[in-house]
Amino acid sequence: MFACHFPRWRPNATRKPWQWGRFLPAIWERCQTWSCEGFNTPAGQGQQVGEQEKQESEGLEMPFATRRTETLFQEQPKIGNQYLEDALLKSYLKTNLPPKVREEVNQDLEKFGNRLLTEIKPLAWECELNPPVFRQYDAWGQRLDHIITCSAWRRMKEIVAEQGLIAEAYERRYSNWSRVHQAIKLYLFSNSSGGFHCPLAMTDGAAKVIESLGIPGSLKNAFDHLTSRDPKKFWTSGQWMTERRGGSDVANGTETVARKQPDGAYHLYGFKWFTSAADSDVTLTLARIADAQGHVKQGSGGLSLFFLKIRDEEGKLNSIKVQRLKDKLGTRQMATAELWLDGAEAELISAEGRGVASISNMLNITRIHNVIAAVASMRRMISLSREYALRRVVFGKLLKDHPLHMQTIARMEVQTRGAFLLLMEIVRLLGLVETNMANEQDQLLLRLLIPVAKLYTGKQASAVVVEAMECFGGQGYMEDTGLPVIVRDTLVLSIWEGTTNILSLDVLRSLTKTQGQVMAIFSSTVQRKLELASSTEKLEPAVKLMQDAVSNLAQLVRRAGSKGAVTMELAARDFSYSLARIYAGALLIEHAARPDSSSTDVSTARRWCNQELCPVATELKNGSYDAEEAFMDSCLVYDGSPGSGSKL
């Protein structure tokens, strides 16, 4: 309870409401010790606080409803052009992009930042307030299956095309730097997109798959639409993989059957349990081809990849029935549906039985988009938090003047900077691969870093946005501030495109497939980055911590490898975290070792390296991955639950 005691006063039927004001001075004086957020002085008015209180006291005899109450209000944090306000982003571009490319990209990003502020951001809020609606039947019982989206969502699609958010990556105006340019625009766009960053991820992924197939003639038209800058021609794509029996377990969970028709086309029959952006124009999906007897091959070897248009030329659904829209925690701006495929016409685009291999390019792209969304969410919440700290007065001074509050935001800033550089490293490598400028080491490193970055930034983002929400006190919990929207939409990022454990196991597969070669590449790449800082005295402590972590990681790989598959599986999550922290630390040190680096660059690198860089080594020493500990895991989980004995 609040430590506030009201003066003795008994109700009096003859006392008028306006007379209550005479009791307020005593109440107000006693309530100065309250910690309730709603009663603190608004930021940006620190020098006006005394004057406002004086005016309030002088007007206490006025009717309560007409008195000024400004001192009970808080100022809204306002952000400007997010490109111009992002110091790390600008310094990264200055360091890495060729001068001519940097000049053009800088102009484009500044213009885009202004458009985000003036036009796109308001549309995003409209999308949140007007989520899609499903109309299954008309008034006369005729089935419609209409997914109705708001005008702001449709306008967002036009803007995406105009800005070339997909086209930028495939036009390759800036050669290998085109992916970096695209990624930065998506990073700036993400939290002002009203959820449209999700269909963009799948559209980019579909274009990548088609390109990797050599853009066959039958798909040339689709590729041109997916990468168009013309709003009237631009298409978005879905990615229909999740079915009722499983999400990540595609090999065993896919039940959809494809039946070949006399004209060479296929008709698909099955139920898609979770289809994001169900209002898209086209989609890629997996299915099992039935033979003449109707039999299908199980496992991943029985899956093939198909392309299909969701509607025909008249706008009618392609033998698809919408079961319902999903009721989600977040990303409510976007239509996610359950769909029946009841003979949907589709085109086989992979070799038969090579569906998983063919769609892997799409998964790599959508996972990178997931990283972009995660880093963007962290950056947006920190931008709002630091802006709020310049306005909000608490205990007689601005939040920015409270050391503990600044320490909290600074810790989030360190995490965000590490995540940002990890993202930029991945898209840099992707750009090299796409322009045939990557060597084998670059390709293997990219294969490893994509799942590592996706799983780690997904968890980072959830932690950072929830922490940042506290920076606003009770206001952070209010829906109409927009802050809960960011939190909700961020929480899905550890689930989309593979959960943390699923991706941790994928990291292990990349090690196994290369017989440990990728780990040697990882270690040598980190060491090269650390060598750049060898002459920077202020970075010596961070370099030493990093070198110890790399050494511990190498020892872990040797020891765990000899203990068998179970040990490696138990260590997979901590191992992936270790890879992320070590590589991000190396990138931060490399950035801080630049001749024109700032003191904040150096401080960020040192602070990052002060955390536990190699948690997997510590847990291995503690015996956390032994068979006995694995057995105790089950005991702890099911302790006291009904039938626990049979479970163990």
Q: What is the mean pLDDT of the chain?
A: 89
Q: Does the pLDDT at position 51 exceed 70? A: no
Averaged pLDDT for residues 147-169: 98
DSSP string, 129-158: HS--EEEEE-TTS-EEEEEE--HHHHHHHH
Confidence at residue 516, expressed as pLDDT on a 0 to 100 scale: 87
Averaged pLDDT for residues 103-130: 98
Q: Does the pLDDT at position 4 exceed 70? A: no
Where is average pLDDT lowest: 15-29, 140-154, 288-302, 488-502?
Answer: 15-29
Cβ–Cβ < 8 Å for 504, 494: no
Confidence at residue 150, expressed as pLDDT on a 0 to 100 scale: 98
Where is average pLDDT lowest: 50-64, 104-118, 322-336, 389-403?
Answer: 50-64
Q: Does the pLDDT at position 13 exceed 70? A: no
Q: Does the pLDDT at position 65 exceed 90? A: no
Q: What is the dihedral of CA 630, 631, 632, 634, to 10 degrees?
A: 90
Residues whose CB is less than 8 angstroms from the CB of residue 184 and which lie 6 or more positions away in sequence, other chains included: 89, 93, 105, 109
Confidence at residue 320, expressed as pLDDT on a 0 to 100 scale: 97
Q: Name the token pair of 462.
A: 């959830």
Give the pLDDT band of residue 411 (cuts 50, 70, 90). very high
514, exposed or middle or buried, with CB in 10 Å at 0-12, 13-18, 19+?
middle
Confidence at residue 228, expressed as pLDDT on a 0 to 100 scale: 98
Confidence at residue 49, expressed as pLDDT on a 0 to 100 scale: 42
How confident is the model over 73-85, as pLDDT tens digits? 778 999 999 999 9
Quote the radius of gyration of the chain (alpha carbons, Å).
28
Confidence at residue 296, expressed as pLDDT on a 0 to 100 scale: 94
How confident is the model over 322-342, as pLDDT tens digits? 999 999 999 999 999 999 999
Q: Does the pLDDT at position 563 exceed 50? A: yes
How confident is the model over 480-504, as pLDDT tens digits? 999 999 999 999 999 999 999 999 9
How, if at all, do strands 282-289 and 237-240 pair?
A: parallel
**Residue 60 one-letter amino acid:** L
Closest CA to 195 of 496, 463, 468: 496
Averaged pLDDT for residues 431-441: 98
Residues whose CB is less than 8 angstroms from the CB of residue 549 and which lie 6 or more positions away in sequence, other chains included: 578, 581, 582, 585, 613, 614, 617
Q: Does the pLDDT at position 544 exceed 70? A: yes
Tell me how far CA of residue 136 lies from CA of 285, 312, 342, in angstroms.
24, 19, 16
What is the percent of the chain where pLDDT is above 90?
79
Give the pLDDT band of residue 67 (cuts 50, 70, 90). low
399, exposed or middle or buried, with CB in 10 Å at 0-12, 13-18, 19+?
buried
Where is average pLDDT lowest: 38-47, 215-224, 461-470?
Answer: 38-47
Confidence at residue 220, expressed as pLDDT on a 0 to 100 scale: 98
Report the alpha-carbon distance of residue 196 to residue 385 in Å, rounded: 24
Give the pLDDT band of residue 208 (cuts 50, 70, 90). very high
Cβ–Cβ < 8 Å for 119, 225: no
Averaged pLDDT for residues 424-449: 98
Q: Does the pLDDT at position 426 exceed 90? A: yes
Confidence at residue 59, expressed as pLDDT on a 0 to 100 scale: 44
Closest CA to 602 of 548, 536, 646, 515: 536
Give the E-state strand segments of 310-396 in sequence order: 320-325, 337-348, 393-394
Cβ–Cβ < 8 Å for 239, 206: yes
Backbone dihedral angles phi then psi of residue 144, each to the nearest 5 degrees: -110, -50
Confidence at residue 250, expressed as pLDDT on a 0 to 100 scale: 85
Give CA 331 to chain center in angstroms.
11
